[in-house]
Structure 1
Amino acid sequence: MTDTTDVRDIPFETADGRTTTLNEVGTGPVLVVNVASKCGLTPQYEQLEQLQRDYGDKGLTVLGFPCNQFMGQEPGKIDEILEYCSTTWGVSFPIADKIKVNGRNAHPLYKALKKSEDGAGKAGRVAWNFEKFLVGDDGSVTRFRPPTKPDDPAVVSAIRGALKA
């Protein structure tokens, strides 16, 4: 875990063009995930939606950020992405506007999130689609790399811990 207390105040754009922050999205923990529609990990949408259904009424918000930086696996416009997520995976959690997560033009939210370390103690670049950052209501960040599924016991345990904090 890394303390980045201001990460919840970094503005970003919603899919409908409004500016918001993680504090405005939810008062509890927020699971921030860079998502893509044409990736081998895309079925994680189903597990992310289940987390939202299981823990949303307890304060968790899952938040997807479409990103096309990994082999062009999120090429669509935001309207197409929203339609795909809704009709294919039944996604009800918020999807933000498309962003970059790595490089010089990475979104400021992801610049801050990438300072946090994963379970192996490594910070830095987002490795691939579906990297997960659990941002606690205190601004703490717990990072899970893409192969870690949303329903992995480590993710669920971190969510439960963040909900009790």
Structure 2
Amino acid sequence: MTLNPNLRLRRAARLIVLDPDDRALMFRYDVPGRDPFWVTAGGECEPDESFAEAARRELYEETGIAADPGPEIARMTPEFVTVEGEPVQADERFFLVRVTEARIDTSRHTALEQQLMTQHRWFTRAELVDWPEAVFPANLGDMIDQETRA
């Protein structure tokens, strides 16, 4: 894996949150000037924070769920433009969290998240594959299938 030295490295923890029906929690972002897109919960690590620590914090902040994120199950290093408009090289680590109920609390979202994260919903695998708007990561269904078979 080659990282782009010309871009800021954005370390982030991403959470694949599955409900009892194996549906994945996704958040819809509506960023001015861009097409809407859906992403898993998660976000950038604080400077001295491990990926696992960031996963635990982001899970609680974005969903209200206080849980151990478990082991890292995947890593991706995409280049993209953040919602603030900064091109970055990401180092994203994914964690799988199973919850007992499909209820979340978004009251801890930051002002920017409240503005841009306009919806959340639980997606079936079929919906992830066939959704008319962009879903990130694009191979999320495959990632879930791999973990649920393991």
| Bigger fraction of residues in strand | 2
Whether these two folds match at TM > 0.5 is no
| Bigger fraction of residues in helix | 1
The two structures have a TM-score, normalised by structure 1, of 0.27
The two structures have a TM-score, normalised by structure 2, of 0.29
